[in-house]
Amino acid sequence: MRIYSLTSLTICVAGLALGLAGCRSLPESKPASEWTPQEARGAEVFQAKCARCHNPTTTRPLNGPGLQAMTKVKAMPSGAPPTDERLTYVILHGRGMMPGTQVADDQLQDLLAYLHTL
């Protein structure tokens, strides 16, 4: 009986811990009023090239995954770390159903700066 009670308590504590861990919210996006000129240009590139498939300030998917805090988490939905090199590769070459995106080098740098504000 004592083992059963200890097991039940352990399961309840573990469940509570997991529940609380799941309630953690992601960092908020940087307000547009605080964007640098490069980040603002990146937001324009995002609107033109990415917004039809990706929500920028939520994790809810549109046609592709939501991008809130994507540069602040340890791994992207693919499991890869969200380094600028990895993001650049995915943007330019696509992944899964996402087609590659043609952008000029300066637009790519602006877009990466904007993604870091999310």
pLDDT in tens, 19-77: 334 445 788 899 999 999 999 999 999 999 999 999 999 999 999 999 999 999 998 77
* pTM check: above 0.75: yes
Instruction: Identify the pLDDT of residue 24.
Output: 56
Structural domain boundaries in the chain:
36-115
Q: Which residue has the tokens 């330019």?
A: 92
The DSSP string of 45-79 is: HHHHHTTTT--SSSS--SSS---TTTTTSS--TTS
- What's the DSSP call for residue 86? H
CA distances from residue 77 to 52, 64, 68, 73 in whole angstroms, order as listed:
19, 10, 12, 10
Query: Is the pLDDT confidence value at 5 over 80?
Result: no
What class is the 36-115 domain?
mainly alpha
Separation of alpha carbons 42 and 113, rounded Å: 6
